[in-house]
Chain A
Amino acid sequence: MTEQNFIIESKDVHLYYGKKEALKGVSLDFMPKEITALIGPSGCGKSTYLRTLNRMNDLIPDVTVTGTIKLNGKDIYSPKMDTVALRKEVGMVFQQPNPFPFSIYDNVAYGLNISGMKDKQKMDEIVEKSLRRAAVWDDVKDKLNKSALSLSGGQQQRVCIARVLAVEPEVILLDEPTSALDPISSAKIESMLVELKERYTIVIVTHNMQQASRISDKTAFFLQGDLIEMGQTRKIFTNPKEQATEDYISGRFG
């Protein structure tokens, strides 16, 4: 094994909701500037694992996390870790498009606004750049001051992605970002993600195996809180090591 520069390294991550063990010792590393897909049946812990990466599980009462997760070598669960700073590095896009009930501009500028940016011109630039990267600029450039809730679901989701891009995170976590969208919107988001890979590390949870095989470099298969197998997407989909992976991928369950 050669020394590799993982951006995120997680070792033996256990997560408990109260007494119930939802993650049973997951060890998973991520390479920078790659798309990693997390797949598995409902309730297998893939979304839960994703949310440990920017400590969103902290918001749920009675959650305990053990094990270590390192971002660029720094333990994000150490008491000294500033979750606010962490979440600026590790952005998140949710399953349901969740723009704020503000204008499109204010939505994308929100992250800049909270970090205290005052320079209006620079803000305009970043907002435009982020919306372009999220492939939604042409749809919204004439109505930046309209409420983001007036957009279609697919446009809303891309605005939400632009909102994350504006903060310039290193890692973007996506929790089934297209499961609530129509196929055309999903396709737009997929091709956009492939372009974003040049700049960002992307971890995506998806129920859609075709989606995982289309866009991801690596795929990790979860089952009942365990990581079953992780490897090159092509290998996982054509020649998996584990029987469970093959059964799931060939549609025998899940």
Chain B
Amino acid sequence: MRAAVVVFPGSNCDTDVVTGLQTVLGIAVDRLWHKQTHFDAAYDLVVLPGGFSYGDYLRCGAIAAHSPIMAEVKRHVERGGYLLGICNGFQILTEAGLLPGGLRGNAGLQFICRDVALQVANRNSPFTCALPNADLTLPIAHHDGNYLIDDDGLKRLQDQDQIALTYTTPVNGSVANIAGVLSANKRVLGLMPHPERAVDQAVGNTDGREIFLSLQTTIGA
């Protein structure tokens, strides 16, 4: 399995992704600068990390979604590659039209930084197939994680089994408590929680490991 993480100006979780994947899967992760217009087609997984790309100017992820590398990220998806957007990465994916819906300010207007309980709504996807039956606990740290989609869009998500994760109790105002969304072909996942921050027992929680192990199960070593 070959993986890369895209670095935008203001990304601040790229190193967590590199360390997380190294810790869980023992694979080296390349960093790609957002100004690149092409990258190696051999990457199985590309990750858009958390952070505050472009200072959250305009809307979270809006400027990054128009970065030069995003055209190549779209080609990666068309080639059948796997794409994971975490937190700001999820916001970028919705702004780029790679996932439906959008993310706006939390209903309580506050930045929320704590562990949350999550229910796995789809256990068959490449990102969730190795998850245990119990609920997950993962950290969140965001101001704009309030997932919005219209009724027709929500019905499509439900009909096509595209809801990956939901908060077990309301957290930020998200429609249907949605915390993570899959593309129709299930090869793109965007989620607000940070699995890469929960892979080492030293930080007290390893629930995030299973997401990366699911990918390894799907893609192979």
Partners in one complex: no
Binding site for A on B (CB under 8 A): none
